[in-house]
Amino acid sequence: MADNPKGYANPQLLITPGELSAQLAAGETPLLLDLRPAEAWAAGHLPGAVHLDLFGISLVDTDPAPLRAFLWILEHLLASRGVEAGRRVIVYDEKSGMRAARAFWALEFFGHPRTQQLDGGFGAWQAGGHPVSTEPVAPVATSWTGTPVEERIASYRHVWDRLKATDVAILDTRSDGEYDGTLVRAARGGRIPGAVHVEWTTNLRPDGSFKSSDELRAMYEPLGVTPDKEVLTYCQGGYRAAHGYLALRLLGYPRVRNYVGSWKEWGDRLELPVET
């Protein structure tokens, strides 16, 4: 977003359909990753976009061994779709959604230097009158391996160790029912003690694009989610949490971690404290 109308500290993390269309017309060749379900991609996608559905790849145990295996799978899948360090990657789904945000977070975790999310997603691309293709696109795999940035991920042990720290904010991005414990999706319902609640969909405007910097700050800062703190985001499985991660990255927050095990792990580990 060259002109940065929404006032972000990190506007380069998003790209509008108009900007992307102009760049493609000028001959640029970023890797376009469509994170929607396969049937949605088959019905129509951005010209040249490769399909990648990560929705079934989740983790419910962030002890070291299973966490390593999970991250290896993510890295392998990204490379299998053509990710490489020297090529810009643009991720999208139906709107500025959690599927694309999860891929965005994964690429940032692996240290990819040029990752963007299409603001407003496929819906905004269509609404702008840009071309849509049904041509099959075969991915060209690479041998890419990332350089993990450990400060962008949290395990249950990290969250547990930081529960009472004064420089930490725990951000619950789930629905109201999940947060207050009336909707139970693990062995126990409730929330991580001290967590504040901003449901991920409130990051977005009605058209599916991200809210402005001022709008986002007005949501987060009164709850104590401020740039001076380490922010630990979570949901049920790390998808909505990745959306909160991206919103705070847009604002320039320097310390944001996605707790990838999220409530499914926390709620199932009976030794961990729960608040309702």
Active site positions, annotated: 235
The pair of three-digit structure tokens given for residue 57, joined into one six-digit string: 């790849």
Rounded to the nearest angstrom, the gap between the alpha carbon of residue 146 and the centroid of all alpha carbons in its chain is 17
Q: How far is CA 56 from CA 79, 102, 114, 182, 231, in A?
A: 17, 12, 25, 25, 25
The pair of three-digit structure tokens given for residue 35, joined into one six-digit string: 């994170």
Cα–Cα distance for residue pair 38/31, rounded to 1 Å:
18
Contact (Cβ atoms closer than 8 angstroms) between residue 234 and residue 262: yes
The pair of three-digit structure tokens given for residue 149, joined into one six-digit string: 């940035």
Contact (Cβ atoms closer than 8 angstroms) between residue 146 and residue 112: yes
Cα–Cα distance for residue pair 153/159, rounded to 1 Å:
10
Measured over the CA atoms of residue 69, residue 37, residue 15 and residue 252, the dihedral's sign is negative
Q: How far is CA 220 from CA 11, 61, 65, 97, 166, in A?
A: 18, 29, 34, 19, 17
Task: Scan for tokens 């004064």, then name that residue.
Answer: 166
The pair of three-digit structure tokens given for residue 172, joined into one six-digit string: 């619950």
